[in-house]
Amino acid sequence: MAEVISRRRVITAALAGGAAMAIRPRPARAAAPPEWAGIVAAAKTEGKVVVNTFPGDGYKRALKAFTQAYPDIKLEHTGLHSQDFAPRILQERQSGLFTWDLATIPTSTALQVLRPAGVWDPVRPAIILPEAREDAAWDGGFERGFAVVKDRALSYGFTANRGGGVTVNTDLVREEIKGLTDLLNPRWKGKLLLPDVRVMGDTFWPMTSARLHLGDDIIKRLFVDQEPVLSRDTRQVVEFMVRGRFPIALGVNPLLLSQFQRQGLGKNLKLLHFPEMDTVNFGTTLWLVNKAPHPNAARVFVNWLLTKDAQVAWAREVETNSRRLGVEPGNPDFLPPKDAKLFQVDAEENLAEVVKTQDIAKAVMK
């Protein structure tokens, strides 16, 4: 099985190396291109931009920085998980409604569901500010952000995070758990909380890596034989773990968990990384919606998001790890380890393996 992994494109932790660097003095910003003033003026006339992200209060806090930078452009924000965003935008477009201008969602849903429906326009032509395009400002270079999709103009990945991970309640789990196969112990039968691997990227991404390491039968052994409780609600998974209803869970959203931990709840939850589930992903990839109702405001947002100031706010508030150099890691627990070679799970070239994971799960989970 190691040969299977070796044949796949891997990525080193150089993606995240610059994120931990000390902040250096900022050089003078290059002048904006001549067309920029006209784009901003047109965006102000449009009056707003509509953006979808994952759920979480951190996204709202991060996006306040856009309103501060461009007070004449109202920002409307929806926080729909990709599994909810996709059917909604498709249904609206079938009815001739066009609500959103941009979305930050993973490549799996974006490529499997939304690209065939013609939802996306290439984002590359919209990125014109020199600060956003500066090659030396990005870990792996500016072009690295286009690398995971075969159409290297379609979307942009501005974060780099370690994927996978199992969360344990240390009050309920006393023994050491060293790997995913430890969860197959009969004592955990009926006691595992797992996002539904058939539809939830929180699970089918790390389980793709696990399947390539451990064999296809790991899906049935974990999701059927162990009789776990399944959820399709990201917030529910976090709440159940915070309340102590389950000893072990996959796919605990770190941003939602931190909201509880700031209130003093869930401090007994510990994240474990298993080598067989380790991946790296861009996660929040930037997509430009086709037939956007506010195209100029969308371009302003795209360029703003890729500036250092915006990336600092995004990494801090969303608790993620930016590819932008000099930006402090927003979540060190999910920073790819130095010198590690990890499976780039959200690369389009690996999409077939992700789909296979989902198909195996659908076949064995009745």
Residue 219 tokens read as 């899906």
Please tell me the predicted confidence (pLDDT) of residue 6: 40
Helix%, strand%, coil% for the chain, nearest 5: 45, 15, 40
Q: Write out the two tokens for 4.
A: 């299977």
Q: Whole-model pTM?
A: 0.81
Q: What percentage of the chain carries pLDDT values higher than 70?
A: 92
Residues 35-52, mean pLDDT to the nearest whole number: 98
Mean pLDDT along residues 312-338: 92
Q: pLDDT tens, 257-305? A: 988 999 999 999 999 999 899 888 887 799 999 999 999 999 999 999 9
Q: Does residue 123 carry a pLDDT above 70? A: yes
pLDDT at 12 over 80: no
What was the pLDDT predicted at 19?
40
Band of the pLDDT at 244, cuts 50, 70, 90?
very high
Residue 11 has pLDDT above 70, yes or no: no
Report whether pLDDT(173) > 90: yes
Give the model's pLDDT for residue 4: 39
Q: Right CATH number for 165-277 from 3.20.20.30, 3.40.640.10, 3.30.70.980, 3.40.190.10?
A: 3.40.190.10
Residues 52-79, mean pLDDT to the nearest whole number: 95
Q: Compare 153 and 282 and report the one with higher pLDDT.
A: 153
Between 18 and 177, residue with greater pLDDT: 177
- The mean per-residue pLDDT over the stretch 323-342 comes to 88
Instruction: Give the best-scoring range by mean pLDDT among 26-40, 244-258, 339-353.
Output: 244-258
Across residues 321-348, what is the average pLDDT?
88
Question: What separation in angstroms does the CA of 334 have from each of 15, 51, 72, 258, 278?
Answer: 12, 25, 36, 13, 10
Average pLDDT over residues 137-155: 95
Average pLDDT taken over every residue of the chain: 90
d(CA 127, CA 302): 7
pLDDT band for position 102 (cuts 50, 70, 90): very high
pLDDT at 178 over 60: yes
Give the C-alpha distances (Å, rounded to integers) separating 342 from 6, 214, 220: 10, 16, 24
Residue ranges, comma separated, of all CATH 3.40.190.10 domains in the chain are 2-161+281-337, 165-277
**Confidence bin at 18 (pLDDT 50/70/90):** very low
Look at residues 326, 347, 322 and name the one whose alpha carbon lies nearest to residue 335.
322
Region 165-175: what's the mean pLDDT?
A: 94
Q: How confident is the model at residue 27 (pLDDT cuts 50, 70, 90)?
A: low
Is the model's pLDDT at 211 over the cut of 70?
yes
Q: In this model, does residue 15 exceed pLDDT 50?
A: no
Right CATH for 2-161+281-337 from 3.40.50.300, 3.50.50.60, 3.40.190.10, 3.40.50.720: 3.40.190.10
Pairing of strands 229-231, 248-250: unpaired
Q: What is the pLDDT of residue 45?
A: 98
Identify the pLDDT of residue 360. 98
pLDDT of the residue at 5: 40
The pairing of strands 10-12 and 341-344 is: antiparallel
